Structure 1
Amino acid sequence: MIDFLIIGGGIAGLSAGARLSRHGTVTVLEAEDALGYHASGRSAALFEQSYGPPSVVALNKAGAEYMRLENGGYLTQRGLMLVAAMDQADAFQNDRASLNMQSMSMDQAVSRVPILNPEAVGYVAISEAAFDIDTDRLLQDFARTIRHNGGTVLSKRKVTRICKGPHWTVEAGQVFEARNLVNAAGAWVDEIASMAGIAPIGISPRRRSMARLPAPGGHDVSNWPMMLGAGETWYAKPDAGKLLVSPSEADPVPPHDAYADDMILAEGIARYEALVTEPVTRVETNWAGLRSFAPDGTLVLGPDPTEPSFIWCAGQGGYGFQTAPAASQLLADLVTGKAPAIDKDMISMLTPNRLNR
């Protein structure tokens, strides 16, 4: 009998499994061929403590030490630059305040990112407290912890049937029996809940498209900060000598293996292109991922109020990696009855009890 059967092998399921593996036997079921295939494999991979609603910021801060120090640390300095057009003063000021950024002169901005167009950019701010996350190593280290503690991580195990009797019975290529079922299925969490006879939480999968561009103008982009358009209307991030550009859309879609919308992607690239001196002449490749949001836009962590053996690890939105260390610890604390380190008011914003279903 498995103590914790976890459905979903992305960052949510693997981090939860690593924490819970200290308290019982864990098996993780991933439907795809590889771990982190969907949202986790298509992340912007940025850690910025101030990014997100208050409950997310609380998780970011609680997990910052883990990100910096555990297993040698997972963070590399990147920086985040807010870039606004002449007519975006209000959006710029709102974003600058919420992200605790410092305004900078145009000369300073161009010295950091030489393709910025002084004739088009009206406002710039910077935060140095933004870091790249080594997402692959974080995923693999959580999986390694599960295995080290006697657990199992299985791929190609799509769940087809769930029954609740004295314990949970789950069919996924074979039959698994478990005392507790952890729903970390990303965009599919409501489908898993319905299969298990649990009321859905109203999850909304939202597409975000991405394009990989050659380094603009042949520049070495490795030390450039990530750039964020005011109002989060686009972003651009250096990646392995290239530049990733996204329109930052959040269009509701059914759960599926997402692909980029060419029109939306072109609009986002145009917003980026309007503020730089180097035109986009070629897109090397593009893709999309699904970020899944609960109705109030923050994570859903802990036992379902109607069936405590059904445990939610859902609604990570665009915050899955940066919240993973603290979110997984909070989930384990809530399941095992340990007093969480996070403020109780923040906890009330994260547990399933807050949702009206």
Structure 2
Amino acid sequence: MTDALPSSTDVLIVGAGIAGASLAAALAPHRRTMMIEAEDVPGYHATGRSAAFWQETYGGPGVQPLSIASFAMLQAPPREFSARGFLSPRTAINLARREDAAAVDAFVAGFAAQAVPMERMSAAEIARLVPGSRSEWSEAAFEASCSDIDVGGLHTAYLRAAKRAGAGLATRARLDSARRTDAGWEVRLGDETVRANLIVNAAGAWADRVAEACGAAPLGIQPYRRTVIQLRLDYPVPASLPLVIDIGGNFYFKGESEGRIWLSPHDETPSPPCDAAPEEMDVALAIERLRQVVDWPIAAVERKWAGLRSFAPDRLPVFGVDACVPGFIWCAGQGGFGIQTSPAISALLAAELGAPAPEGAIGRVNAASYAPSRFA
């Protein structure tokens, strides 16, 4: 365990991935906070396996307000939080075949109505930015604002900020059960008991199990496996290759270094909460889909991994006070967009729990849209 477990705390956050760490950083200056993490290190599952990028269209219109509100902090955080930003320019191409031109037009029109900067691309522009692409992939929408996120740097900054503000972190500390009493919560962690006024469920793929252990009704948070592989190519693909996303949702890839890419078949395979591992069938599927798009000889599969992305039934994040269990707070269902929305979600939820209300773009987000009461 990183820190000794206290006998009591004000707020006990279950999970120290990006959701729990960002909330602890926002809340610890205002309330006594303790994070518990079941694994040996925080961020072992979804956070540590993300190929994260900031993309305004990612997650759809319901997620977009959180993404937009989070951008400024990710790009230029306060100096006391980090001496540098966490974004680096990437750009994105939402790609389609010639026969799917209408789908691209609808995609552009839909997000233009949300004031998302978007440009229609010509076939020549696609060929220039994605050298070796096959001629039938001639339709695309270009997003200049798409950026890579330094996930490890961001997660570490959250953990450091939480620690500076007095938050504790105990690893290898799995919540076995919790009982609500007149004085708050009694939480069993193996042979130890911790008392807390509030429990925050930031347990990712395990969120419904944690809820049940605390006597709360599960919300239907479903984990899905996502596969990513790193390919070395016999082709001079630049490291700056844009994020290329199939508008039909069958693949995405981006440059990693000279002659190397990260590739995913954009799989979403329902999974129990677990230490996810890539399936060979999904690796083969990713490569086959890539070959349909580009004429790039593949020299080697250098790495392959999988992680779990967890969604609520309506695929929007869930954060706020449980509608039926006093003192039980949700911070879950963040899918693949939890990293790019973490500044907004953590600030909004911290304000619900006693921190000052956020200002600016984050303060203008309607947090009620993401409350767990919508499932009551």
Q: Same fold (TM over 0.5)?
A: yes
| 1:154 counterpart = 2:173 | no
Name the residue aligned to 1:44.
51
| Among 199, 202, 205, the residue aligned to 1:187 | 205
Question: Take 1:197 and 1:89, find their aligned partners in 2: how far apart are those partners?
Answer: 50
- Letter paired with 1:139: H
5 Å-filtered alignment, 1:1-357, equals: 1-70=8-77, 71=82, 72-98=84-110, 100=116, 101-118=118-135, 120-165=136-181, 166-173=183-190, 174-214=192-232, 216-241=233-258, 242-336=260-354, 339=357, 346-356=366-376
Identity %: 36
Contact 2:131–2:237 (8 Å) recurs in 1: no
- Letter paired with 1:126: F
Contact 1:55–1:346 (8 Å) recurs in 2: no
| 1:243 to 1:97, Cα distance in 2 relative to 1, 3 A | farther
Contact 1:82–1:96 (8 Å) recurs in 2: no
Question: Take 2:355 and 2:21, find their aligned partners in 1: how far apart are those partners?
Answer: 21
Question: Take 2:337 and 2:196, find their aligned partners in 1: how far apart are those partners?
Answer: 29
Q: Which has the higher helix share?
A: 1
Greater shift, 138-147 or 280-289, is seen at 280-289
- Paired residue total: 354
Greater shift, 167-176 or 320-329, is seen at 167-176
Name the residue aligned to 2:5.
none
| 1:178 to 1:83, Cα distance in 2 relative to 1, 3 A | same
Question: Take 1:283 and 1:2, find their aligned partners in 2: how far apart are those partners?
Answer: 47
TM-score by length of 2: 0.89
Contact 1:229–1:272 (8 Å) recurs in 2: no
* Structure 1 residue 91, shift from structure 2 partner: 3.2
Which structure 2 residue ranges, 5 or more long, are not aligned?
1-7
Which structure 1 residue ranges, 5 or more long, are not aligned?
none
* Structure 1 residue 168, shift from structure 2 partner: 1.4
Question: Take 1:345 and 1:27, find their aligned partners in 2: how far apart are those partners?
Answer: 27
String of CA shifts for 1:149-199, please: whole Å, max 9, x gaps.
Answer: 111122221222222222212222432221110100001000000000011
Contact 1:29–1:155 (8 Å) recurs in 2: yes
Question: Take 1:56 and 1:136, find their aligned partners in 2: how far apart are those partners?
Answer: 22
Name the residue aligned to 2:3.
none
Question: Take 1:143 and 1:98, find their aligned partners in 2: how far apart are those partners?
Answer: 37
* Structure 1 residue 339, shift from structure 2 partner: 4.9
* Structure 1 residue 289, shift from structure 2 partner: 0.9
* Structure 1 residue 49, shift from structure 2 partner: 2.1
String of CA shifts for 1:286-336, please: whole Å, max 9, x gaps.
Answer: 111111011111011111122231110000011110000000011111222
- Letter paired with 2:186: T
Question: Take 1:147 and 1:204, find their aligned partners in 2: how far apart are those partners?
Answer: 31
Contact 2:92–2:243 (8 Å) recurs in 1: yes
| 1:91 to 1:279, Cα distance in 2 relative to 1, 3 A | farther
1:328 match: secondary structure: helix
Question: Take 1:337 and 1:219, find their aligned partners in 2: how far apart are those partners?
Answer: 50
Moved over 6 A (4+): none
* Structure 1 residue 147, shift from structure 2 partner: 0.6
Question: Take 1:229 and 1:345, find their aligned partners in 2: how far apart are those partners?
Answer: 29
Contact 1:9–1:28 (8 Å) recurs in 2: yes
* Structure 1 residue 346, shift from structure 2 partner: 3.5
String of CA shifts for 1:202-259, please: whole Å, max 9, x gaps.
Answer: 1111111111101x33415211111101212100022244211101111211111111
Question: Take 1:217 and 1:110, find their aligned partners in 2: how far apart are those partners?
Answer: 18
1:282 match: secondary structure: strand
Question: Take 1:153 and 1:327, find their aligned partners in 2: how far apart are those partners?
Answer: 20
